[in-house]
Structure 1
Amino acid sequence: MSGGAAESRPAGPVAAFAHRAEHFRPSPVRAVFEHAMRPGIVSLAGGNPDTGVLPHEVLAGMTARILSERGPEVLQYGSGAGIARLTGLVCELMALGGAVATPDRIQVTAGSQAGLDLVTKLFCDPGDVVVAEGPTYVGALGVFGSYEVEVQHVDVDEDGVDPEAVAARIDALRTVGRTVKLVYTVPTFHNPTGVTLTEPRRRRLVEVCAQRGVPVLEDDAYGLLGFDRAHRLPSLYSLDPGAVIHLGSFSKIFSPALRLGWIAAEPSVRARLQIAAEAVTIHPSVLSQELAVEYVGSEHWRPALDRAAARYRARCAAMMEALETYMPAGVRWTRPCGGFFTWLDLDPDADHGDLMHRGLEHGVALVPGGACYADGRPSTSLRLAFSAASEAEIAEGVRRVGEMLRDGVRRRAGD
């Protein structure tokens, strides 16, 4: 036996973790939820839908009828691709965004988050690059990190991401030998900024990515939640189904508890996604699918969706009014026309400190903007959600945010 010192290794099962386990880190959004439940805290953190608009007695009756009439069937194992009635309904929903989809292109998933995981698993090797908006959806960063994929950000402005900047980034990465596998975007009522990619930019983004052979991964959880349905923009998928993989979700338009979403992709891609999904979940919940078909396919769904959109519109207006009233000089924010979020760019010269904890000290839960970037940059921005708070709570929460930011200005002045 060698007389040298033995290599120090952690004891127990931790020593056997895969290298990728280093990338499994708590979501900063989930972390703030625990604090948001404390008495006296106003939460502007979570992008939760308002399920109070749903006809709960109707849903109870539908569920009871499904179980009473077809209990043995819906409580049994199901198809890995999803039930045919639901894939047909998904095609109808996608048609609202201008897409022509067929059931052989639809893979039902356990929420769109699972869809994001499946696409990343299928397309990306460790060390590959995904080009994404900066900032981007926090949950996407967790997925990309877990597969050891590098995220390269391209900034967004009030019109969304610049397609020419995306093209330049892909070309620059390839010049130095990097492999770009996907361009990830939330084009409509973007999470976290609330901005919407304009139609000319949509067409150009799909074009430049198709020219470079890089699939666009379109995350469209909010597309049916516009404040003005008359001005709905075409989905990226509708512009070029061969160049775009589309993620959809029932979480925001029905219920997040169902854990139900879908992927639309070329049939050969969809088939591989099904195999990947079956390896993890076997199949999506049959009961959830049947309830979605019954409710979203009924006369009750559209009025409830309209009620939800009207409620979000009023809450967004309340947040815009409160921001105008309470924000200190130097703060700028987006003005969304749908979805759940607005984004604040703060005074870069102020001493912001740890924004999440400073917010809690002032009685408000919020998401620091730095959490929405892969590079761990300091937070000089905030995501505020208006979907789940009342108008009075929004006004009070924004007042507290303004107080917190003024404290930062004073702290800077005192240095």
Structure 2
Amino acid sequence: MEHQRRDTRLDLYHDRYAARAFGMKESAVRALFAVANRPEVVSLAGGMPNIADLPLDMVADALSDMIQSPAGPKALQYGSGQGEPMLREQICEVMAEEGIRAHPDDVTVTVGSQQGLDLITRIFCDPGDVVLAEAPSYVGALSTFASYQAEVVHVEMDDDGLVPERLREAVLTLTARGKKVKFLYTIPNYNNPSGITMSLERRKQVLEIARETGLLIVEDNPYGLLDLEGERLPAIRSMENDQVLYMGSFSKTFSPGFRVGWVLAPHAVREKLVLAQESATLSPPTFSQYAVSTYLKVHDWRHQIVVFRDMYRERRDAMLKALTEYMPAGSSWTHPKGGFFVWLTLPAGIDSQAMLPRAVTNRVAYTPGTAFYADDLGARNIRLSYCYPTPERIREGVRRLGEVLNRESQLNRTFGIHPGAHAVHNVESNSPHPDQA
């Protein structure tokens, strides 16, 4: 009697998926959430904003009044695919804080800036097209580009941000090879994950290269208003209207739970974005838009941002102080002037991904640097987030991380792996280091 063969594949639909589905990967940050949220673990991994300083009683009263007002039924209905007009006007006021002069007609409201990036990639990128991105770059952006089968080419950064010469070389080299370079994706303010800020001179140089080569710039700016040292640089979009698509978000300056972001784009691009938005969601959530609009109208949101800055500055300073105290020889890190993140470079011979289980065992979590590269670099790097834990928890988390790193360093010495001669002890750096191992 013949035995009938049984298919042992776990996914019976494997052969039915579109090719682009195989480029989709689990977020390295989301994969850590289950572990990082355990109360005994100090999580320095995720970039979750701290909303404890929001006046929740005021927000609750404002939302209640809004629901009971004549606008209430509108807030619970379908809305425009482009977003509600009153919110788009207020978004222009928010962008004016960074020197951007814009018209509400050129604003498209999105479900967080992440959806904005998805819509931009959808309307611009065919499979095999190239997206240029800083090295390192935001893990959520890299996942979006991969899902549309775009090729990511990283461009070197230093302590002043993106290196213009490397950008020009990348554009010219790729174009000579017949590649279609669709846009440069950049986070010029307090880059996620490195914390580095692109200098004003570099912004001008990058924009000049874009004009010379016809390169489109996608400027992602979720942290721009969260400057911690009193130096707010103008957005790249404030210097150029047609060459730059600008993405913003209320997730870091109000609440991530409402999922409200936006894209500012030239008129022709805006039309395509609205069509893509309508095919994806029909319309961005109307209630969330009314909620954000009400908050901006009834609350002193500019002062609230000052409150957030003071809170995040205290946390950043606590992390930098703890790193100086607890990191072993051969370590270095950035000194962010705003935003949420510090980029840590480990002593030679230590792999951040391989070390993560041992760190979690020691009750501290972080995000390995490899998550922020499309080309497998970053093994010697760690992104540390200071936005959510209290200063005391930050200090304890860095102390626990220091214990793990010291044990790893001791093992390396035992087996004859030593830091390079160039390594320095407990020195802050303003430059992210790619994997040198």
TM-score computed with the length of structure 2 as normaliser: 0.91
| Displacement after TM superposition at 1:378 (Å) | 5.6
SS of the residue aligned with 2:52? helix
| Displacement after TM superposition at 1:353 (Å) | 5.7
Partner residue, 2:232: 232
How many angstroms apart in 2 are the aligned matches of 1:353 and 1:179?
33
Deviations 1:2-57 (A, max 9, x none): xxxx9x99673222011111111110011011110123100001111111111101
Relative distance call for 1:411 and 1:262 in structure 2 (3 A) is same
Matches within 5 A, 1:211-226: 211-226=212-227
Whether 1:396 aligns to 2:386 is no
Partner residue, 2:197: 196
Q: Unaligned stretches of 5+ in structure 1? A: 1-5
| Contact residue 355 and residue 379 of structure 1 kept, 8 A | no
How many angstroms apart in 2 are the aligned matches of 1:368 and 1:89?
38
| Contact residue 9 and residue 15 of structure 1 kept, 8 A | no
How many angstroms apart in 2 are the aligned matches of 1:395 and 1:107?
41
RMSD between aligned residues: 1.5
Whether 1:23 aligns to 2:55 is no
Aligned partner letter, 1:330 = G
Partner residue, 1:331: 331
| Displacement after TM superposition at 1:174 (Å) | 1.0
Partner residue, 2:112: 111
How many angstroms apart in 1 are the aligned matches of 2:152 and 2:297?
38
How many angstroms apart in 2 are the aligned matches of 1:122 and 1:9?
39
How many angstroms apart in 2 are the aligned matches of 1:358 and 1:147?
35
Partner residue, 2:286: 286
| Contact residue 351 and residue 411 of structure 1 kept, 8 A | no
Relative distance call for 1:66 and 1:145 in structure 2 (3 A) is same
Partner residue, 1:3: none
Aligned partner letter, 2:373 = Y
Partner residue, 2:425: none
How many angstroms apart in 2 are the aligned matches of 1:96 and 1:164?
30
Which deviates further from its counterpart, 292-301 or 210-219? 292-301
| Displacement after TM superposition at 1:136 (Å) | 0.3
How many angstroms apart in 2 are the aligned matches of 1:214 and 1:355?
39
SS of the residue aligned with 1:248? strand
| Displacement after TM superposition at 1:410 (Å) | 1.3
SS of the residue aligned with 1:132? strand
Whether 1:243 aligns to 2:255 is no
SS of the residue aligned with 1:252? coil
| Contact residue 352 and residue 368 of structure 2 kept, 8 A | no
Matches within 5 A, 1:335-354: 335-350=335-350, 354=354
How many angstroms apart in 2 are the aligned matches of 1:358 and 1:273?
45
How many angstroms apart in 1 are the aligned matches of 2:297 and 2:329?
48
SS of the residue aligned with 2:182? strand
Aligned partner letter, 2:54 = L
| Displacement after TM superposition at 1:351 (Å) | 5.7
| Displacement after TM superposition at 1:302 (Å) | 2.1
TM-score computed with the length of structure 1 as normaliser: 0.95
What is the count of residue pairs matched by the alignment?
Answer: 408
Partner residue, 1:310: 310
How many angstroms apart in 2 are the aligned matches of 1:169 and 1:72?
52
How many angstroms apart in 2 are the aligned matches of 1:190 and 1:377?
17
Partner residue, 1:153: 154
Partner residue, 1:87: 88
How many angstroms apart in 1 are the aligned matches of 2:213 and 2:410?
50
| Contact residue 192 and residue 342 of structure 1 kept, 8 A | yes
Matches within 5 A, 1:43-192: 43-69=43-69, 70-192=71-193
Relative distance call for 1:329 and 1:410 in structure 2 (3 A) is same
